[in-house]
Structure 1
Amino acid sequence: MNGDVGAGVFQPLEADDPPMVAGYRIAARLGSGGMGKVYLSHTPGGRPVAIKVIRPEFAEDPEFRRRFRREVQAAQRVQGLYTAPVIDSDTDGPGPWLATAYVPGPTLSAAVAEHGPLPGRTILMLVAGIAEALQVIHGAGIVHRDLKPSNVLLAADGPRVIDFGIARAADATSLTASGVAIGTPAFMAPEQAAGREVSTATDIFALGQVAAYAALGAPAYGEGPSHGVLYRIVHEEPDLSGLPAELRPLVTRCLVKDPAGRASLTEILDLCRAAADQTQLRRPEDWLPGGVAAGISNREEVPAPVPPTPAPAVAPAPTAPAASPAAPVPAPAHPAGAAGAGHHVTAPGRPVTAARPHGYGPPGSFGPPQPAYVPRPAPMPVPMPMPMPMPPKQRNRTAIILVSVFGGLFLLLAGCGALLNAIGQDTSGTGASGATPTGTAKGQPRPDPKPATYNDYKLTSGYHLQFADDPLEPHDSNKDDFYYYCAFQECGFGAYEAKLARLDSGAEGSLQACRQETRFASRIPVEALNKGDAMCVKTAEGSIALVVYKGSSAKNEPSTYATLDVTVWRGAARKD
């Protein structure tokens, strides 16, 4: 949870960044990722911490919250020398968050991007430290699932593994229910890329990829479109020709396709010792190359803690007039000390708890610091004159007037209602006999919207459609209504927050047919479609679309796409 070297480690807060998270005053923004934003703050004792605030899209999903709570509880048990421990969290508040120790060092990805591949001696120390971190993480019952260079920090005394287990919380959310895998494609294991069950062996494969990246300066399975990278991970061997000889046995044992055949963490540590020609690995102070180490020592100073907002001045209470013998001053409602520790008395039964900094006690139990409360002296009661009784005749006259006014208003409103009802009947086409022409009855549903048609539309693989767009425009966002994918020699169509259904072959596609269709699916493979087959899409915004498949691009074409006829009835599913 750190910024990148040379990229502005401590970024100023923007308009949508919170100035405080559950009592932690935010000093700077460290970065952002797929699951949220990371900020710099401090504990009450002045130690810097990194606070990750989860994205609202995940926070709104009940299944994510359940898993996030469980994973954070497990992560708090991880206390290794090569991990950044979770020290505080709130998994049940409006915006879930967690806080870890701040590590003053670059990510492995940033260090390689700025200084190039690392020397073999450094990589052996790096792999050994990550392996030891994984031993502690796995011992707590956690599979990292997203081990990659940006989740490894390089500190002066060794690496730190961060974000362990948190990716699992997003696996069953609405954002990933359509088959999108959690993790970074270039560093996935074959079973993870294929959507099969992951295990501790999945992290071993990722460790081999991290080692290869540190030595080569690029992913072992290359770069490019994610579906191409994932295909190579599952079906092809990595290009390790540029790997130093002392690292090849280590990396090769990690990158075995079959999870059962991969090296154990104990074997990895043995291979590191053998490659370093040491019976016991000893991490020297200068384990990092000079350029990276200099970058750590020359990093900008951590911003100072944000001072609390000063308490507003409390104006002195006005001096109460001297009590007269006829009006004695009453005793205070609560004697001194009756409110208990940490409270001030403002009124009977209303104690105000003194604010405490967050970070100690149950998560989320403390709010932001509040201004100190200064109790005021009890005010003197001011004698009020007794109201003069109203003469009986005056009361009777007032009651008569009120009854007359409200009665008149009631009659006026009743007359207006009758008039509006008559006007409504006339405009709806009713005659004197009360007969209503066909198709214009009161309460008749509004007419269907006019369709918008897009013929021979080319939708490229990896792109998405939002049917509210007019005209339709392809997006690379993964939250739109309808998308086309091609991966692992399979192509097809899918929907995220919309309902997708395939009509029977030969069935007439129409708005009425789509309204009645309930055989929903998250994906429809191309191999299940014939040319001319239709699919219906019902969006969360109330639109209905009829998509007719007309064919796919040829294998020798530079772009992979599907040709479609699209008809959209915007707002057709809304009841208003």
Structure 2
Amino acid sequence: MNGSDDILTPLSPLDPREASGYRLLARLGEGGMGTVYLSRTRGGQPVAFKVIRREYGQDPDFRRRFEQEVRAARRVQGYHLVPVVDHDTTGPLPWIASAFVPGLTLADVLASFGPLPLPAVFQLVGCAARALGSIHAAEVVHRDLKPANILLGSTGPYVIDFGIARAAESTQLTHSGGIVGTPQYMSPEQALGEPVTAAADVFSLGLIAAVAATGRHPYGEGGATALAVRIANTGRAAPDLSEYPAALRTLLERCLAAEPAARITTDELAVLCERAAGRPLRAFDGWLPAPLMERIARREAAAARPPEPTPTPTRPDADAHWSGQSTVTAPPRRGPAHPPQPAQAPSARSAPGVRPVVLAAGLAVAVALTAVVTRAIVSPDGGAGASGGSQTDRKPTGASAPASPAASGSPSKQAAYTLVFEDKPLTLRAPAFNTGTHVDLDAPKLFPDGKIGVTDGMELTYQDWGDADLRFLTPMGKSGGTTPEACRTGVDTDTLPAALPRKDLNLGTPLAKGTVLCTVTSEGNLAMLRITDVVPPAKGGGLSSDMPDYVTTLTLWKISK
């Protein structure tokens, strides 16, 4: 951080002035994954507009996974999260537009102000735990939680940048056994290249709590590689927590367990933190030290007066650099679900143990029984920007409508549709107790007893575990007709909630016989499900679910532009 209260950097000659219909006003920051700009929707809502780096954008595997991940992250809703309001993966460079509220990253705060008071740390961690709970409920794992991805504002802390890290794992940059994350904030299983679950984020949050409260990393001093090796070896050599305050030590012990199953849950962590903080988690009046609150207030004032964008450059190299970046699509028609919405400030310095590094070779763990950390690539983002999931190419309405047809990139007006198959029978039977059925509409294929969280390439899942529901993994809309154009309009303008709970399904209100459902699939096709019959749940209980069966026909079109 440069000490200035102005978080808005004027555009350079090489920066774009417009992208996909968004007017770019200033730079907010830059990281390994891309550059973040301040923009506004046509309705005037400020957004942080992140343009993904060219080397990622040109990788087809990244584009495919990026689309899946942001659609999954779009399902995430809750307090202390920054919602993404739009995204696109089809243009020359992918981008994400996230709601914007000025604030300071925890990394910047620690670098400029030092450790936080314990009550503020407990409040920060408790709110972050609530945010992680919402992320995990949508079957998303953050994978790159670190101080640069926690934003502090006058209305509390916010978790940002969930939804991109996993997409980067699929690129050519990481195919040779690589994993994405920030080494000094990884969990042991992530550092060892093993599968990660929600518990990995809890471990990372424990490390953040220790650094935020004391400036000391639980695994000692040293570079990112050395810390990652020690983290990977947690099962044999647990960190020494004896020098941390007693109240914090309890939290750290429960977060930093070597075995994921032994770690505290996010709900339990939030309760523990609220008790330790001595105040409600969402009571933010004076929750941070006065000098820090004053700095945040000045940044909010600066953000309220965005600079006029600099003139469009005439340099040939600038124009060539951004060729293809002006394909116009309509900004989103709806605002964020949970105000206030934060955004990040650029960071020039890092908190202790925060600075990302790229490990070109594997991390060899110097213990015989510990596996080799094959290769770790730092979280592509050093903390600039925001990410997540959202609708893409949605038709604007009201104040957000484009000024002219030329300003609207509505896919339903530009796309061409080629029939792949028509009216294939597909019956979605209610899952048995404590099971779920995943559905791939592109195949089409049903996966009864599908594993929890294993939904890549799927469009919906019908589940009777936890909160029993019919869950849409890609945006699902109701269509007023059966043509592809009407189907796409339904996706864009009449989108259903991400999940329909058991009680609503049994009432028959959202999905009745004759309903036409449409979605753009994970492979980019247009799918239409026509419900031809709804079979009520059987009486008598047993192992059968008490949700209805849906008899449908499926039609699929390939979308081309």
Q: Which amino acid aligns with 1:189?
A: S
After TM superposition, the score normalised by the length of structure 2 is 0.55
1:360 aligns with 2:332: yes
- 3-state SS, counterpart of residue 126 of structure 2: helix
Instruction: Tell me the number of residue pairs that the alignment of Structure 1 and Structure 2 aligns.
Output: 331
Aligned residue in 1 for 2:225: 227
In the TM superposition, 1:23-422 aligns within 5 A as 23-235=21-233, 236-277=237-278, 281=281, 283-299=283-299, 301-302=302-303, 303-304=305-306, 306=308, 358-360=330-332
Whether 2:15 is the aligned partner of 1:17: answer: yes
1:79/1:85 contact within 8 Å kept = yes
Summarize the Cα distance change of 1:22–1:5 in structure 2 as closer, same or farther, 3 Å threshold.
Answer: farther
CA distance in 2, matches of 1:58, 1:356: 21
Q: Does the CA contact (< 8 Å) of 2:9 and 2:26 recur in 1?
A: yes
2:220 & 2:10 partners in 1: Cα distance? 35
Which residue of structure 1 aligns with residue 364 of structure 2?
Answer: 487
Helix, strand or coil at the partner of 2:43? coil
Once the two structures are aligned, what percentage of the paired residues are identical?
47
Q: Secondary structure at the match of 2:90?
A: coil
- 1:489-508 pair list within 5 angstroms: 489=366
RMSD: 2.9
- What SS does structure 1 have at the residue aligned with 2:195? coil
* Partner Cα separation in structure 2 for residue 272 and residue 492 of structure 1: 33
How many Å apart are 1:162 and its aligned residue? 0.6
The letter for the 1-side match of 2:18 is M
The CA deviation at 1:256 is 0.5
**Larger relative contact order, structure 1 or 2 (CA cutoff 8 Å, min sep 6):** 2
Distance 1:129 1:84 in 2: 13
Give the C-alpha shift of residue 245 in structure 1.
2.1
CA deviations 1:355-380 (Å, max 9, x no partner) are 98831369xxxxxxxxxxxxxxxxxx
TM-score normalised by structure 1 residue count: 0.53
**Whole-angstrom distance in 2 between the partners of 1:477 and 1:8:** 30
Change (3 A) 1:281 1:484: closer
Q: Displacement, 1:492?
A: 12
User: 1:240: Cα distance to partner?
Assistant: 3.2
* Counterpart Cα distance in 2 of 1:493 and 1:259: 20
Q: Does the 8 Å contact 1:187/1:219 carry over to 2?
A: no
SS in 1 for 2:48: strand
Q: In 1, are the aligned partners of 2:28 and 2:38 still within 8 Å (CA)?
A: yes
Q: Which runs of 5+ in 2 are unaligned?
A: 313-326, 335-356, 378-561
Output one character per residue of 1:32-78: Cα deviation in whole Å (capped at 9) or x when no partner: 12211111111223222101111111111111111100111122222
Q: Answer whether contact 1:67 1:169 (CA < 8 A) is retained.
A: yes
The answer (yes or no) to whether the contact 2:83–2:98 under 8 Å persists in 1 is yes
Relative to structure 1, is the Cα distance of residues 277 and 175 closer, same or farther in structure 2, using a 3 angstrom cutoff? Answer: same
SS in 2 for 1:487: coil
Q: Which amino acid aligns with 2:218?
A: A
Distance 1:31 1:243 in 2: 34
* Residue type at the aligned position of 1:488: V
1:31–1:39 Cα contact (<8 Å) kept: yes
Give the partner amino acid of 1:290: A
Question: Is the Cα–Cα contact under 8 Å of residues 78 and 137 in structure 1 kept in the other structure?
Answer: yes
Q: Out of 41-50 and 61-70, give the one that drifted further.
A: 41-50
**Cα deviation, residue 282, structure 1:** 5.1
CA distances 1:75-101 after superposition (whole Å, capped 9, x unpaired): 222221200100011112111000111
Contact 1:19 1:25 in 2 (8 A): yes
Which amino acid in 1 is paired with 2:365? F
Work out the CA distance in 1 between the residues paired with 2:358 and 2:270: 41
Structure with higher Rg: it is: 1
2:10 partner letter? P
Which amino acid in structure 1 is aligned with residue 256 of structure 2? L
Structure 1 ranges of 4+ moved more than 6 A: 307-310, 490-494
- Asked whether the equivalents of residues 484 and 491 of structure 1 are also in contact (C-alpha less than 8 Å), the reply is no
Partner of 2:500: none
CA deviations 1:481-527 (Å, max 9, x no partner) are xx665521399999x9xxxxxxxxxxxxxxxxxxxxxxxxxxxxxxx
Q: 1:232 to 1:223 in 2, by over 3 A?
A: same
Q: Counterparts of 1:219 and 1:15 in 2: how far apart (Å)?
A: 41
Task: Give me the whole-angstrom Cα distance separating, in 2, the residues matched to 1:356 and 1:61.
Answer: 22
Contact in 2 for aligned 1:103/1:153 (Cα 8 Å): no
**Structure 2 CA distance, aligned partners of 1:167 and 1:295?**
30
1:165, distance to aligned residue in structure 2 (A)? 2.3
| Between 196-205 and 283-292, the greater mean CA deviation after superposition | 283-292
How far residue 180 of structure 1 moved from its aligned partner, in angstroms, is: 2.8
How far residue 130 of structure 1 moved from its aligned partner, in angstroms, is: 0.4
2:5/2:302 contact within 8 Å kept: no
Query: In structure 1, how many angstroms separate the alpha carbons of the residues matched to 2:219 and 2:68?
Result: 33
User: Secondary structure of 1:221's partner?
Assistant: coil
The alpha-carbon distance between structure 1 residues 211 and 357, as it changes in their structure 2 partners (threshold 3 A), is same
* Cα distance between partner residues in 2 of 1:260 and 1:477: 29
SS for the counterpart of 1:83 is coil
Report SS of the residue matched to 1:153. strand
What SS does the aligned partner of 2:9 have? coil
Per-residue deviation at 1:172? 1.9
Structure-2 change in CA distance of 1:4 and 1:267 (3 Å): farther
Counterpart residue number, 1:510: none
Instruction: Measure the CA separation in 1 of the matches of 2:302 and 2:373.
Output: 51
User: Quick check: 2:25–2:306 contact (8 Å CA) kept in 1?
Assistant: yes
Residue 54 and residue 282 in structure 1: after superposition, are their counterparts in 2 closer, same or farther (change >3 A)?
closer
The one-character-per-residue Cα deviations of 1:371-426 (angstroms, maximum 9, x if unpaired) are: xxxxxxxxxxxxxxxxxxxxxxxxxxxxxxxxxxxxxxxxxxxxxxxxxxxxxxxx
Following superposition, the deviation at residue 226 of structure 1 comes to 2.9
Structure 1 pair 213/6, CA: closer, same or farther in 2 (3 Å)?
Answer: farther
Residue 433 of structure 2 corresponds to which residue in structure 1?
A: none
Summarize the Cα distance change of 1:361–1:289 in structure 2 as closer, same or farther, 3 Å threshold: closer
Provide the rounded CA distance (Å) in 1 between the counterparts of 2:170 and 2:86.
Answer: 24
